[in-house]
Every structure is written in C-alpha cells, then in structure tokens.
Amino acid sequence: MAKKYDIAGTWEPQFVNDLVQVLISVLESRDSYTQGHIKRVAEISLAIGSRLKLSQIELRDLYAAAILYDIAKGVGTDKQTLNKQLPLDQREATIIREHPYKAGLLVVGVDSLSHLMPSILYHHEQWDGNGYPARLREESIPLYARIISVADAFDAMTSARSFRPGMSREEAVAELIQQKERQFDPDIVDILIDCLEENRHEWKDFSFYF
C-alpha cells in the first residue's frame, strides 16, 4: 500500500540538529556531568580534527562519533554506578566497561553509521595498551577514538561533578601532559593544547556549526 505521506524532504539541517540536541539532553539528564558535556566533546573533537586537516566528510564522521561514543553509558548503566566516585568494585567496573560494546552494537546495525563503530568501540583504549575493550596500542587505536578520548578527558576534568569541583584549564592541561604516551596520543594532546592557547573562550554550543 502506498504511503499517504512523504516527510523525508522536509528534514532540514536545523530541524535535524534540534532533534539531536533534544536527544543529547535526555542522555545527559542521566549523568552528573555538567550539562553540555557531549556538545563540548563534539566541538573540541572538531577543533582537533580541523587542525589535522580532516576533510569535511571526515569531520562530519568525527562529529557523529563524538556524539554517539557514550550513548550506551547513559542508557545502559544504572544511575548509581554511573555517578559513583572512584574506585569502582569489580562488578561496577565490568558494567562500565560494557558501554563501548553496547554503543558499537547500536551503530553497527545502521547502514549509514556502521563505519563509525571502531571509533566508538575503542574510545577507552589507551596509548600504552592498558585501556579497554581490546588493549590496543598507539596507532592501532582508530584516530577518531584517540581524539575523542583526549576531548572527553579534558572536558570531564574541567567539569564539576557531584563529588568534586572541576579543575582549572591549566590543571587539566598539566594532567594531559603527564598522561602523554600513557593514556593519550601525545600528538593529539599537543594539538589540543594549541587549540586552547588559540581559543581562550569557553567552547560554544555546537549548534554554532549549523
């Protein structure tokens, strides 16, 4: 039976962006991060990606991965574990370590997003091979995952949580430098520091890009 409607042509970029922002707000309402964490991670990732001279399509994919990487952390993890102060016990740590798999499985079944799966699955890998889920090392970790990892850590450190105040930019940069070649790709850390020196203002809402 023929459809009596055809709404596909009415999905303007602004409408799609607004819809995405509402869904992000729902995700963030589950977590104790300051509102706007996902948007800031997306914007910081784009700033790093543009310094790497990624193409517009690559930046779009980086942006999409930076929105989706923690999608299962908010919806697939109980709120108590999600917002608990470290250290986590073994059961809680295992639950947290499941979230990249769950997010990867969500996108792998969507044709136009499935190529983002490795960037999402490996966003908790570490440069020195001590991350999860696969203990990948150095450049075997997908580039977008390495970028998102640094952006996520920087924004998490500078955001106040229910159990601690946020660090200053300078303190967070010092921590990133200390974790170069341990947790983070050293080149990506250097690029973020360059971006921060250039942009002394707060990161703007990503709706700026539409």
How far, CA to CA in Å, does 200 sit from each of 54, 169, 194, 195?
A: 23, 10, 11, 9
Pick between residue 28 and residue 70 the one whose CB is nearest to Fe ion.
70
| Residue indicated by tokens 């073994």 | 90
> Whose Cβ is closer to Fe ion: residue 70's or residue 155's?
70
Contacts of 107 (CB under 8 A, 6+ apart): 68, 113, 114, 116, 117, 120
Residue 61 binds Fe ion (CB under 5 A): no
Of residues 70 and 185, the one with the C-beta less far from Fe ion:
70
CB nearer Fe ion, residue 68 or residue 191: 68
Pick between residue 43 and residue 70 the one whose CB is nearest to Fe ion: 70
* Segment contacting Fe ion by CB under 5 A, of 37-45, 69-77, 158-166, 182-190: 69-77
Stretch of 65-73, 78-86, 166-174, 198-206 lying at the interface with Fe ion (CB under 5 A): 65-73
Q: Are 113 and 66 in contact (CB under 8 A)?
A: no
Q: How far is the CB of 99 from Fe ion (least distance, A)?
A: 6
Alpha-carbon span 114 to 8, nearest angstrom = 21
Size of the site for Fe ion (CB under 5 A): 1
Q: Name residue, tokens 């995405």.
A: 20
Closest approach of Fe ion to the CB of residue 42, in Å: 14
Nearest to 169 by CA among 142, 148, 146, 198: 198
Per the CB < 8 A criterion, the answer to whether 103 and 69 are in contact is: yes
Task: State in angstroms the smallest separation of the CB of 69 from Fe ion.
Answer: 6
Burial of 84 (0-12, 13-18, 19+ CB in 10 A): middle
Which SS3 state, helix, strand or coil, does residue 132 take?
coil
Residue nearest to Fe ion (CB): 70
For the record, the structure tokens of 35 come out as 């509102």
Q: Given the complex with Fe ion, which of 55 and 80 has the nearer CB atom? A: 80
Confirm or reject binding of residue 70 to Fe ion (CB under 5 A). Answer: yes
Q: How far apart are CA 198 and CA 138, in angstroms?
A: 27
Q: How far is the CB of 81 from Fe ion (least distance, A)?
A: 13
28 lines the binding site for Fe ion (CB under 5 A) = no
- Binding window for Fe ion (CB under 5 A); candidates: 41-49, 62-70, 137-145, 195-203: 62-70
**31 is a contact residue toward Fe ion (CB under 5 A):** no
Return residues touching Fe ion (CB under 5 A): 70
